């Protein structure tokens, strides 16, 4: 695995290589509707869509113009929020991990809402109920989110047309914004059910989200520079393809790279590799004039609310504070985002309060240490 130190990471060269990828390799497509729609502006080569450099540059500039903004001033308070992907919960009464059902998701969503109303943490539905058919689980999560959350979130990635119709009905009845997430298949494949559904339904007042998820050494090269070049190519290429296909309402590309952890059969979180990826992602986003976003800095590998979980979450919260990430994901979560623990959520609120009290803006070093100590004990 080839790594590059962050201070030596050249975003300009990454962008140059991303342009080469888009120009010479392009994105593979399987939807037969795409080629006729883009043939006048892009190059169609044996099932792949290639992007002339001037076209890629134009859409990159459009990303800057549509979504560009300075990162906000570092907030005095830290915002933490819970994931909606938990499939299990930890019962504090007996210490057992149990599958979520609709009632436990509703109960914990109400807890999250109460804490949100008090300004302590945020989030939507507390998880994915396992007592409904698999194809209905994310629909039920969204329904619970709409009924019991303060601000219902988007739909995420929808994988079937039948589910799309239900999501549309819920949005229309509750007068909610319509949105669909898309996740092209790395490496460099603009295909999949979410892509096809976005192309078929975008004209119904729907915003299309773009979130490629390349994994270093798995679906992206085992090279820090080239893996990020692929990520940039997939994000800009997806945006350009949607726009060329006539999609007007598009969310800001995410520009992410995940790191595989073969020992745990999952991606790295709460580890130095993950921190390096978050900081590199911030550099990439700054290159495109985009603000700093949330970070998965409260996801931990512990399965119980013990000292290990507290230390990992404290470290993540401190990093979020020091590097000015405005939102931290993973409040109340254990074993990454698999287990929701109401006990851990309350602990995370206390961790947040503690970190908020730490002074980070040391502009000058005091010369008289005795006077500083005397001031502190008065």
Encode pLDDT of 176-196 as tens digits: 888 889 989 999 999 999 999
pLDDT at 50: 98
My answer on whether 182 and 215 are in the same domain is: yes
| Domain assignment present for 273 | yes
Whether 236 maps to a domain, the answer reads yes
The mean pLDDT of 243-267, rounded to a whole number, is 83
The answer to whether residue 291 is domain-embedded is yes
Return the percentage of the chain with pLDDT > 70, whole number. Answer: 89
Domain boundary among 228, 256, 284: 256
Average pLDDT over residues 351-368: 72
Helices (H), the chain: 11-20, 34-38, 53-67, 102-117, 137-148, 161-174, 193-201, 224-244, 272-287, 307-322, 342-356, 369-377
In this prediction, residues 121-130 reach a mean pLDDT of 95
Q: Looking at the structure, tell me whether residues 190 and 121 fall in a common domain.
A: no
Omega before 187 cis (within 30°)?
Answer: yes
Of 256, 284, 301, which residue sits at a domain end? 256
User: How many Å separate Cα 32 from the centre of its chain?
Assistant: 30
pLDDT score, position 322: 86
Residue 149 inside a domain? The answer is: no
Separation between Cα atoms, residue 343 and residue 268, nearest integer Å: 24
Residues 97 and 212 occupy one common structural domain: no
Q: What is the percent of the chain where pLDDT is above 90?
A: 65
Residue that terminates a domain, selected from 256, 279, 311: 256
Residues 111 and 234 in one domain: no
Q: What is the pLDDT of residue 194?
A: 92
**Domain shared by 286 and 327, yes or no:** yes
> Are 312 and 353 found together in one domain?
yes
Q: Is 335 left (phi over 0), alpha (psi -120 to 50) or beta?
A: left
pLDDT > 60? residue 366: no
Determine the pLDDT at residue 376: 60
Q: Are residues 232 and 290 in the same domain?
A: no
- The token duo for 315 is 């470290």
Q: Tokens at residue 38, please?
A: 């883009």
pLDDT bracket for residue 3 (50, 70, 90): low
Give a yes or no: residue 378 inside a domain: no
Highest mean pLDDT among 67-76, 98-107, 277-286, 306-315: 98-107
Q: How many domains does the chain have?
A: 2
pLDDT, position 369 = 62
Tokens of 95: 């210490």
Q: What is the pLDDT of residue 52?
A: 97
Assess if residue 141 is contained within a domain.
no
Confirm whether 137 is domain-assigned.
no
How many Å apart are CA 87 and CA 138, to the nearest integer?
A: 11
Where is average pLDDT lowest: 113-122, 130-139, 244-253, 288-297? Answer: 288-297
Whole-number pLDDT of residue 229: 97
Q: Looking at the structure, do residues 249 and 267 belong to the same domain, yes or no?
A: no
Q: Do residue 161 and residue 237 come from a single domain?
A: yes
Q: Tell me, what's the pLDDT at 72?
A: 61
Under the banding of pLDDT at 50, 70 and 90, the label for residue 264 is low
Q: Do residue 89 and residue 226 come from a single domain?
A: no
pLDDT for residue 1 is more than 60: no
Q: Do 215 and 239 belong to one domain?
A: yes
Q: Which of 63-67, 215-219, 272-276 has the lowest mean pLDDT?
A: 272-276
* Judgement on whether residues 87 and 199 belong to the same structural domain of the protein: no
Domain span at residue 161 reads 1-51+154-256
Read off the tokens for 55. 């076209």
More confident residue, 217 or 341: 341
Q: 363: which residues sit within 8 A by CB, 6+ positions away?
A: none
* Interval 71-97 mean pLDDT: 87
Q: What is the pLDDT of residue 184?
A: 92
pLDDT tens-digit map of 299-320: 988 899 999 999 999 999 998 8
Whether 371 is in a domain gets the answer: no
Residue 76 has pLDDT above 80, yes or no: no
* 81: pLDDT strictly greater than 90: yes
């Amino acid at each position: 695995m080839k790594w590059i130190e962050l201070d030596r990471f050249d975003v300009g060269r990454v962008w140059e290589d991303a342009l080469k990828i888009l120009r010479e390799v392009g994105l593979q497509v399987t939807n037969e509707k795409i080629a006729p729609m883009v043939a006048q502006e892009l190059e169609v080569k044996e099932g792949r869509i290639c992007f002339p450099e001037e076209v890629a540059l134009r859409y990159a500039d459009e990303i800057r113009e549509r979504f560009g903004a300075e990162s906000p001033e570092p907030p005095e308070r830290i915002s933490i929020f819970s994931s909606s992907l938990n499939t299990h919960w930890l019962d504090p009464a007996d210490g057992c991990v149990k599958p979520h059902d609709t009632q436990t998701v509703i109960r914990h969503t109400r807890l999250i809402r109460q804490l949100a109303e008090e300004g302590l943490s945020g989030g939507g539905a507390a998880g994915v109920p396992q007592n409904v058919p698999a194809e209905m689980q994310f629909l039920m999560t969204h329904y619970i989110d709409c009924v019991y959350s303060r601000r219902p979130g988007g739909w995420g990635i929808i994988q079937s047309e039948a589910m799309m119709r239900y999501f549309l009905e819920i949005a229309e009845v509750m007068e909610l914004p319509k949105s669909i997430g898309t996740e092209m298949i790395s490496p460099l494949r603009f295909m999949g059910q979410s892509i096809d559904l976005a192309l078929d339904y975008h004209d119904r007042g729907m915003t299309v989200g773009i979130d490629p998820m390349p994994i270093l050494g798995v679906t992206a090269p085992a090279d820090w520079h080239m893996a990020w070049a692929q990520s940039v190519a997939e994000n800009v290429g997806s945006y350009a393809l949607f726009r060329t296909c006539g999609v007007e309402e598009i969310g800001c590309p995410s520009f992410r790279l995940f790191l595989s952890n073969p020992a745990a059969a999952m991606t790295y979180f709460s580890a130095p590799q993950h921190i390096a990826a978050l900081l590199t992602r911030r550099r990439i986003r700054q290159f495109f004039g985009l603000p700093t976003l949330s970070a998965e800095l409260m996801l931990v590998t512990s399965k119980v609310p013990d000292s290990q979980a507290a230390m990992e979450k404290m470290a993540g919260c401190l990093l979020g504070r020091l590097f000015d990430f405005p939102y931290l994901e993973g409040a109340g979560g254990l074993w990454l985002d698999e287990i929701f623990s109401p006990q851990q959520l309350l602990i995370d609120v206390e961790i947040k309060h503690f970190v908020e009290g730490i002074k980070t803006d040391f502009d000058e070093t005091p010369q008289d240490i005795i006077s500083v100590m005397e001031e502190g004990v008065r």
